[in-house]
Chains A and B, each alone.
Chain A
Amino acid sequence: MNMLKKKSFLDIITYVILIVVAITCIFPVFWMLSSSLKTNEEIFKNMSLLPETWQWGNYAEAFLKAKFGMYFLNSLFYTIVGVGAIVIITSMAAYAFARLEFWGKNILFFLLISTLLIPIPGAFVPLYLLLKSLHLLDTRTGLLLCYISGGIAFGLFLLKSFFEDLPKEIEEAALIDGCSRFGIYWKIALPLAKPAVATLVIIQCLNIWNEFLLALVVLQDTSKMPIQRGLMVFQGTHMTDYPLLMAGLTIATVPIVIIYLLLQKHIVKGITAGAVKG
């Protein structure tokens, strides 16, 4: 009886802690949603999460004012192509680093990984000059190449360790059956690495979708800019149009939330798989 009481007490404590943590995570999202439906004045005067009058028009105004239609398509394009290329390039490279033996393998790997240490703002000027000399400045190709190269180090780091932990026996059996190295990568290793690839996809989707500084520096033509450029019109040096900014942020967040919901099953798998391996 006492044990049962003690257990239910511990459960209550656990749930209370979890609820508090969940509230702290969810509160900013609620605040964003609530502020997107208020007027600018109400945001400062009314601390309640429920707006006095619901300003649904903020969404339409934000969409039109920020030219989200055009930017949304651009971001979709950059994200799909960028993430697709990162997954293909890094998975092939990571498989090679995990399974093939070649001269300078470790040095090359650490060289590639060390690019993780370079902050993007620190690379602005050299990137700008490089793109200029390649005649890729103010082009979608130039921006995409930056996104892809920026995502390679992390992808390599994540996938290499995953491929190394896959049982070699399956691959050896495939080799005996006459499968080529590429065939093993494509038909066996890559499908088995689905949880890690899903994690890579969601992280890179977040990175590219939310990226803004590089796009702003590389692109001059506003018609090529990503969605984050649209949010900029609501922020000034001294003034910020919070309701429209929050409405814009909500619009910009939706695709990422959808991607996360679609892939979360795999991400959880990836994390638990890692835990068991550890």
Chain B
Amino acid sequence: MCRKSIKVVLKVFYLCIAMFVISGCSNSNKGTTDSEKNEDVVKVWHWMTDRQEAFEKLANDYFAQTGVKVVFENYAPSDVYRNKITAAASGDMLPDIYNPQSDKKELSSYIKAGYIANLTKEMNTGWKDVFFEKALVSNSFEENNEWRVEPGIYGVPLDVSSLMIYYNKDLFKQAGLDPEKPPKTWKEFISAGNKLREAGIQPFVSGFGEAWLVGAFAMSYQWSLFGKQGIIDTIDGKIPYDDPRWLRIFKLFEEMRDNKMFASGIVTMINKDAERTFATGRAAMAFNGSWGVNVYKAMNSALNYGIMYPPTLEDAKYPLLVFDCGGSSLFVNGNSPRKDKAIAFLRWLTQKEQQTYLAQATLNIPSNKESGQNLPEILKEFSNSISKTFENLPKLEAWQVTNYINLNLQSVIIGEKTVSQAVAEVQSEKVRQMKKR
């Protein structure tokens, strides 16, 4: 019996070996990609699963109009996509259009290697005028940048996103709050939180387990209390982190904690869980990105919600700005033999008609500022918020210091540290980093 089954297994194995040899022999392209085989096919590698169908539809439209075939290949999630891009770059096998999903330092190495084309010339022929100015910032390099990259525009933004506070209108009503008048000031915000808590509703949730979100919330108040120059002075070390204004920012979180505003477990909560908490009506307010519109629709299409800006501080000198998440962009492979075709396609893709379709089909904010008018009301509000996002800074705070701010904010939320202890720790890290500079 056993011998028989071993013989059967061996036969199957031999059959597969034969198939393997045949498939190996028939593989005449020997390591070349499909795009190399098909000279006219523009290949796009992306990670945006929720947009695949819309991309395919647009690619078909483009083919009908121009005869140029564009293939969108989806490699999600993002970490897998990044691995693929890194390996393909090492082997000089990048597609015509892609995004290295990296910071500016890494992006600069792609540009220097010729893997990303400078699109400034094309953008200056009126193309850049269609975009939100903010959308181009993260895709551009300025004069005298620290990475010594030729100044110019390198990426094509597809959409933009910002962070706002979503609020559940039904839960607001349940707590005796006016769902059409969400809190605008910090005082009103805390008072609304108290009313919600009294009604047995968790007031506020966010993925504060992902430290960047807690930092993003705090940064709105940094802009509000310090202004652009104040932030630059802080980065330069001229304003210390134990400045009374920084104490104030940390105290905002302490105040929220003392008023039981936070949903339970918020400091260990990833954003996906926070989204679920809000979508299922277990928290009344959620600090989240514009992508939340899409997420909440999938989780609970009957969710009745609105959005509001983070509440303002009465004594703030500067306007409150909101965190701009950058959105999604695509880059053209500078070494691609189909570079011109790829640029032409991206130009077409970012025109009003295509952007409107993409925005409506995928519920993202289009990067084309003219496409925002035909959006659902909530997305239109998000679209309007883009002009109120953080301004571009000529320099960035050391990531170690930013990390310390976020971690210490988390510590304050759980009561692990006092506000003075937290700011003192951030300041000592700042001093350490300044010495390193």
Q: Assess whether B23 is in contact with A140, with CB atoms less than 8 Å apart.
A: yes
Decide yes or no whether B31 CB sits under 8 A from chain A.
Answer: yes
Known: A84-B16, A216-B75, A238-B50. A45 touches B294 (CB 8 A): no
Q: Mark B1-24, 1 if CB is under 8 A from A, else 0.
A: 010001001001100110110011
Decide yes or no whether A80 CB sits under 8 A from chain B.
Answer: yes
A-chain residues with CB within 8 Å of residue B50 when the two chains form the complex = 236, 238-239
Q: Assess whether A44 is in contact with B16, with CB atoms less than 8 Å apart.
A: no
Q: Assess whether A194 is in contact with B2, with CB atoms less than 8 Å apart.
A: yes
Q: Assess whether B93 is in contact with A236, with CB atoms less than 8 Å apart.
A: no
Decide yes or no whether B421 CB sits under 8 A from chain A.
Answer: no
B-chain residues with CB within 8 Å of residue A77 when the two chains form the complex = 16, 19-20
* Interface residue from A41, A121, A237 paired with B299 (Cβ < 8 Å): A41
Smallest CB separation, A212 vs chain B (Å): 8
Decide yes or no whether A139 CB sits under 8 A from chain B.
Answer: yes
B-binding segment of A24-32, A55-63, A100-108, A129-137: A129-137
Smallest CB separation, A90 vs chain B (Å): 14
Known: A81-B17, A124-B83, A236-B76. A44 touches B276 (CB 8 A): yes
Q: Assess whether B298 is in contact with A239, with CB atoms less than 8 Å apart.
A: yes
* Interface residue from A124, A131, A237 paired with B86 (Cβ < 8 Å): A124
Q: Assess whether B91 is in contact with A129, with CB atoms less than 8 Å apart.
A: yes
Q: Is the interface of A mostly helix, strand, loop or mixed?
A: helix
B-chain residues with CB within 8 Å of residue A220 when the two chains form the complex = 33-34, 88, 93
Q: Mark A55-98, 1 if CB is under 8 A from B, else 0.
A: 00000000000000000000001001100100000000000000
* Interface residue from B48, B73, B86 paired with A125 (Cβ < 8 Å): B86
Decide yes or no whether B64 CB sits under 8 A from chain A.
Answer: no
Q: Is the interface of B mostly helix, strand, loop or mixed?
A: helix
Decide yes or no whether A178 CB sits under 8 A from chain B.
Answer: no
B-chain residues with CB within 8 Å of residue A129 when the two chains form the complex = 90-91
Q: Assess whether B49 is in contact with A239, with CB atoms less than 8 Å apart.
A: yes
Q: Assess whether B47 is in contact with A237, with CB atoms less than 8 Å apart.
A: yes
Known: A128-B90, A237-B76. A217 touches B84 (CB 8 A): yes
Alpha-carbon distance between A232 and B76 when the two chains are bound, in angstroms: 6
Q: Assess whether B74 is in contact with A128, with CB atoms less than 8 Å apart.
A: no
B-chain residues with CB within 8 Å of residue A132 when the two chains form the complex = 31, 91, 93
Smallest CB separation, A126 vs chain B (Å): 9
Most chain A CB atoms below 10 A, which of B48, B75, B84, B291: B84
* Interface residue from A45, A139, A234, A236 paired with B27 (Cβ < 8 Å): A139
Q: Assess whether A222 is in contact with B83, with CB atoms less than 8 Å apart.
A: no
Q: Mark B130-146, 1 if CB is under 8 A from A, else 0.
A: 00000000000000000
Residue of A with least CB distance to B9: A84
Most chain B CB atoms below 10 A, which of A44, A84, A212, A220: A220
Q: Assess whether A40 is in contact with B298, with CB atoms less than 8 Å apart.
A: yes
Q: Assess whether B87 is in contact with A140, with CB atoms less than 8 Å apart.
A: no
Smallest CB separation, A8 vs chain B (Å): 40
Interface residues of A in 213-252 (CB under 8 A from B): 213, 216-217, 220-222, 232-239, 241
Interface residues of B in 333-355 (CB under 8 A from A): none
A-chain residues with CB within 8 Å of residue B88 when the two chains form the complex = 128, 217, 220
A-chain residues with CB within 8 Å of residue B23 when the two chains form the complex = 140-141
Q: Mark B252-291, 1 if CB is under 8 A from A, else 0.
A: 0000000000000000000000001001100000000101
Alpha-carbon distance between A216 and B30 when the two chains are bound, in angstroms: 17
B-chain residues with CB within 8 Å of residue A139 when the two chains form the complex = 24, 27, 30-31
* Interface residue from B27, B84, B91, B294 paired with A238 (Cβ < 8 Å): B294
Alpha-carbon distance between A221 and B299 when the two chains are bound, in angstroms: 34
Q: Assess whether A233 is in contact with B74, with CB atoms less than 8 Å apart.
A: yes
* Interface residue from A84, A232, A238 paired with B75 (Cβ < 8 Å): A232
Alpha-carbon distance between A36 and B32 when the two chains are bound, in angstroms: 38
Q: Assess whether B280 is in contact with A137, with CB atoms less than 8 Å apart.
A: no
Residue of A with least CB distance to B161: A238
Decide yes or no whether B300 CB sits under 8 A from chain A.
Answer: yes
* Interface residue from B24, B29, B90 paired with A138 (Cβ < 8 Å): B29
A-chain residues with CB within 8 Å of residue B13 when the two chains form the complex = 80-81, 84
Residue of B with least CB distance to A238: B291
Alpha-carbon distance between A141 and B22 when the two chains are bound, in angstroms: 11
Interface residues of A (CB under 8 A from B): 40-41, 44-45, 77, 80-81, 84, 121, 124-125, 128-129, 131-132, 135-142, 144, 191, 194, 212-213, 216-217, 220-222, 232-239, 241
Q: Which 6 A-B pairs have the closest CB atoms?
A: A236-B49, A84-B13, A137-B31, A128-B87, A238-B291, A81-B16
Apart from A136-B30, A232-B49, 4 more pairs, CB < 8 Å: A44-B279, A84-B9, A235-B76, A238-B289
